A and B are shown apart, each in its own frame.
Chain A
Amino acid sequence: MKTHRLLVVPAILALTASGATAQTGMRIEVTPASMTLSVGDTASVTARVIDASGNAVDAPLLFFSSSRRRLDVDRETGRVEAIKGGEYTINVRVLTNRDVRVEIPVSVAYPPVSDVAFDAPGERFYVGAAVRHVATVRDQADDERPDVRLAWSTDDPTIASVDRHGVLTAHRTGAVTLTATAQGVTRSHEYRVVENPVRTLTLSATQDSGRTGDVIRFTGRALDSRGQVVDDVPMQFSLVADPEDSTRTQFPAAEIDQQGRFVANQAGVYTVLATAPGHIARHTVEISRRHVTQEVEFIGHGAVREVNTSDLWIWEGVDGRDYAVTGTHSAHGVAYFWDVTDPASIVMVDSVKVDARTVNDVKISEDGRIAVISREGASNRRNGLVILDVSNPRDVQVISRYDEELTGGVHNVFISNNHIFAVNNGRRYDIINIEDPTNPHRVGRFELDTPGHGVHDVWVVDGIAYSSNWADGVVLVDVGNGVAGGSPAHPVQFAQYRDYTGRNHAAFPYQSPTGRFYIIMGDEMGAPSFDGEPDNAPQRMSGYFHVVDFTDPLNPEEVARFDVPEAGSHNLWIEDDRLYVAYYNGGVRVVDISGELKGNLYYQGREVARYKAYDPNGVVANAPFSWGPQPYKGHLFFAEYNSGLWAVKLLPRDQVLTP
């Protein structure tokens, strides 16, 4: 730590809050009036309070920084320590008089650049090749510095030249050094430019025609004069689009990445270009419309119009009939049970009331005998969960209540293999053994250790728990699968994909017949309201579903999204290459997720169906706000926040609804 090395603005300036002067005549004199520091510097602010007569006043002062983690200021002494570069303000005020205050601008110079780095594709470079290099600049505080101007150069531009974007183009053979410079710090790489051996370039595709949304993989093949493959020649992919309807310019007609993965949003003819030094290869594919849409027929409605509805679960009861359970939100602590054997005639058969205001989640055991419902808003603040006997859904009985260390409220639950996974206080999930449901007991617990971690939901399939953890994204934990030696009593994390939006709310695994293993992650994001909206206006949300390829669980890759621009994502279900999503104000959507996935599925015509449940007598009239879907025995059931339980059916593609 260095001693202070600050530039003091000349003289002691008396800076005064005008309001304070007008009311009390008091002001604060500070020294210095501004500061220029370097990272690691320490300094002190001296301040005193002066009354209207110019006399010093004994008044306690409070010093604080506009960003204490970057510029630390001792609130009592005014000692300053510069931690990070940037522009800040030190506030000085009388502790007991908010109006007597001054601000001291502080400029903390960023530390000098200490390192420049860039990746280079080997030591050999071919004449005619052009490859972009991307450099990273870091300073002595080990912070990345994208703000620093970076200069690219070569020592012999006649051999190879480089532009300001780092694109190196080789012109003739010879040795050349590529250098990136930032604040005098350099990083160089020596290339040996050799004759381009490529004599032929071919381009092939996994298919010559397809539908919108199909991922077609292109492979370029460069051969030398002996017919040998040149595998280190840089190759780039681009495309020429001739879409069927060129007026639809709000989104790109197609895209291809530099791994040769192509997907089209619109029907048309697309020519993919592969370029290698001195060679171009073309391959044209024809893309037709996906044609997957199906009409949706309304089947039935179990209306809940007095309170908001939360989650649902549909199951086959031990009597062979089909049942549903729905929760209630911000209401009276009730879970409703329905006979849905005839989805056209959904009948409420029982209800259970617990001390809660929200029964956010409801789940049924694999054998259809046990239900667990979550509790939030209990009058005594002891929330937890309630275990029910649903062997006879017409006479549901409370078996036990469990709130030990679960008082903060259980937001979501899951039942798997005689264990309840209960999201506890938004911080972790507890694993509760219910082999004897009259005696539930905790056997395990999983909690991240990242700063400010949280968890919103957990879903368990084949002994793997997929939890949704806001910014920490989806976390895969072995809770009995064995892949990582885990068990319910000893959960073991083995994979994770962080969510750059910070809003990962729900997740569902999907083993695609293609061999790829995806996890689809849903956001939960609010949407701004507007002045003048009535109190009971329809709600809106935002956010979308992220498709993450977890085929290599240690290197997950976000490859696609389903993003309805005017609405917000919530719960989801996947069955038979169909993604069923509740999209809040966008209703329920059914999405074709067959084949490999890439790009925005919404643009690709993969949406099979949509249904918005309008109920003029709902909690909010005619306001679809879909909470959760579940396909079941050929029907799609879904919970509507404003109106209860609904059932619809997708008609075969050759069948349309007639008035």
Chain B
Amino acid sequence: MIRWFLFALGLLLAAGVQHAGGQADPNGYLFYVASESEDEVTLLRFMPDSGLAKVKVIPVGGLPAEIEAPHGIFMDPDGVHWYLTLGHGFPFGTLLKYATEMDTVVGNVALGMFPATVAVPPFGGLAFAVNSDFHGDMVPSTVSIVEVDEMIELARTETCTMPHGSRFSPDGMKHYSACMMDDQLVEIDLRSFAVARRLDLVTGQPPAHHASGVAHQMREQTCSPTWVAPSPDGAALYVTCNRGDEVVEVDAMDLAITRRFPAPNGPYNAAVTPNGQLLVVTQKGSGAVSIFDLGSGERLALIPTIRKVTHGVVVSPDNRYAFITVEGIGGEPGTVEVIDLQTRQRVASAEVGKQAGGIAFWKRG
């Protein structure tokens, strides 16, 4: 009920204005994009008046003839560091810490098998990286918890098979990830670093199976969740069911499903606008971006991307723009696209390294 009250309040506050934010920042927006099959990160700047441009290309990894697979990327709230997971190692992946001043590595720590998404709570100091182990056996994997000022791994919390997506509640006290092979949403308590609750995203109940990957293979109806995006007020969680072709809205307090939004063709990543009004979802299967009105649940727009395999999304703090990564196929370059959330049109794009995936907003200006 509280969530609905807050939502209604938000609607009232937003009355008379469009869904998305107001004036675009003329000083522009800076963000980083990781290109998994190019072993590079690109810093881009979007200027509303002049478009999208690459500021810098940052090679990552130490072996030019091996793909080390930069996947997840996240800005530290301090604004002077960013974190990057490298999926491939010998065999374990790595979390790298970069300083924005020169975009040089200032720390690293070994993680588990194929670490993918990484997130930092709003107060900083910690990073949670899901060890997705995309290609290992169907056995439960972990979330690595790292103290990022010392770059020390504090714990590996076992969650489920092929965990993916990593985001914190707005207060930073709960961490959410999804289980691609177990159809689960998993909540980790920040104080204990332990799994606090689980939700079966198909049945809407606590899962019958703990986390083995077996349930997924035996089910006719599956979700295969790939992402979880908390609402700005922390009341709701939005989980993309990549195979279930829907977005599941979960009440964060009760960890109960409240709505399901049809989202055909493989919804993959998602982000809620800071004002809580819109949900932007990448549609990996169709090569498109969906924009949902969180009030009505209606899909307001389906915007095709230039290339296929749409991947990541972040929204600017002023609610105005969504920045999208598109992997592309084979030898195609990766693409970054900018969608104006007022006009619901693509307003800029730029090519980056192959398999553009992880994306992190840095700052305005």
Please list the residues of chain A having a beta carbon within 8 angstroms of any beta carbon in chain B: 60, 62, 64-66, 68, 75-76, 91, 93, 95-98, 101, 307, 329-334, 353, 355-358, 376-377, 379, 381, 383, 405, 407-409, 425-427, 452-454, 456, 470-471, 502, 524, 526, 529, 535, 539, 541, 570, 584, 625, 627, 641
Contacts and interface: CB of A to CB of B under 8 A. Distances in A.
A91 to B, nearest CB: 6
Given A377-B354, A539-B64, A358 B135 contact: no
Contact of A66 (B66, B67, B136, B152): B152
Contacts of A454: 89-91
Interface string B49-75: 000000001010011111100000000
A427 B125 contact: no
Contact of B150 (A66, A330, A379, A539): A66
A66 B65 CA distance: 34
Interface stretch (B26-34, B206-214, B251-259, B326-334): B326-334
Contacts of B192: 76
B287 to A, nearest CB: 11
Given A75-B154, A426-B90, A454-B91, 7 more contacts: A66-B150, A357-B330, A405-B137, A526-B63, A535-B59, A539-B65, A570-B65
A98 B152 contact: no
B65 A641 contact: yes
B135 A379 contact: no
B112 to A, nearest CB: 10
Nearest to A100: B125
A333 B37 CA distance: 12
A471 B114 CA distance: 19
A527 B47 CA distance: 37
B64 A357 contact: no
Given A408-B134, A535-B59, A427 B91 contact: yes
B337 interface: no
A379 B327 contact: yes
A383 B147 CA distance: 34
B172 interface: yes
A627 B149 contact: no
B147 A376 contact: no
Most buried by A among B37, B39, B65, B147: B65
Interface of B: 36-39, 57, 59, 62-67, 88-92, 114, 121, 123-126, 134-137, 147, 149-150, 152, 154-155, 172-173, 190-193, 308-309, 327-332, 354-355
A96 B172 contact: yes
Contacts of A358: 37, 67
A470 B91 CA distance: 9
Contacts of B309: 379
A75 B146 CA distance: 12
B331 A355 contact: no
Given A64-B154, A75-B193, A96-B123, A357 B91 contact: no
B355 A377 contact: yes
Contact of B330 (A353, A381, A570): A353
B91 A98 contact: no
Nearest to A308: B65
A369 B134 CA distance: 33
Contacts of A427: 91, 136
Contacts of A65: 152
A472 to B, nearest CB: 10
Contacts of B66: 524
11 contacts: A62-B154, A91-B150, A93-B125, A330-B67, A357-B37, A377-B355, A379-B309, A381-B135, A425-B135, A454-B89, A526-B63
Given A358-B37, A377-B37, A377-B355, A453 B91 contact: yes
